[in-house]
């Protein structure tokens, strides 16, 4: 069974409701087992449903549907790990 971690430490600022919606979204769309820890979501499953590329697309789709795409982006970390990272706004870059 393949295991992929999704680091959600920065997404937690949006509240636990968003995290619950994300876990439900992943269970429904990818048809995999999803566990939630303090700062991560662990996705367990077989085949292409757990591939890093497929999960990245699902995360981007989730952010777009919940109108969070302007504030967060999905990046790859180390092997079998993705991260939902907060985007820097123009105001933050000027400081």
Question: Rg of the Cα trace of the chain?
Answer: 13
As a whole number, mean pLDDT of residues 20-39 equals 92
Q: Does the domain at residues 2-94 carry the CATH identifier 3.40.50.300?
A: no
State the burial class of residue 47 (Cβ atoms within 10 Å of its Cβ: 0-12, 13-18, 19+).
exposed
Q: Quote the CA–CA distance of 26 and 81 in Å, as a whole number.
A: 15
Residue 93 has pLDDT above 90, yes or no: no
List pLDDT tens digits, range 56-87.
Answer: 999 999 999 999 999 999 999 888 899 999 98
Residue 20 has pLDDT above 60, yes or no: yes
């Amino acid at each position: 069974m393949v295991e992929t971690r999704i680091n959600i430490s920065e997404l937690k600022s949006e509240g636990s409701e968003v995290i619950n919606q994300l876990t439900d979204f992943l269970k429904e769309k990818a048809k995999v087992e999803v566990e939630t820890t303090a700062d991560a979501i662990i996705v367990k499953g077989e085949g292409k449903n757990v591939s890093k590329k497929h999960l990245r697309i699902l995360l981007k789709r989730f952010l777009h549907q919940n109108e969070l795409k302007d504030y967060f982006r999905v990046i790859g970390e180390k092997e079998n790990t993705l991260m939902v990272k907060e985007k820097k706004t123009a105001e933050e870059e000027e400081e």
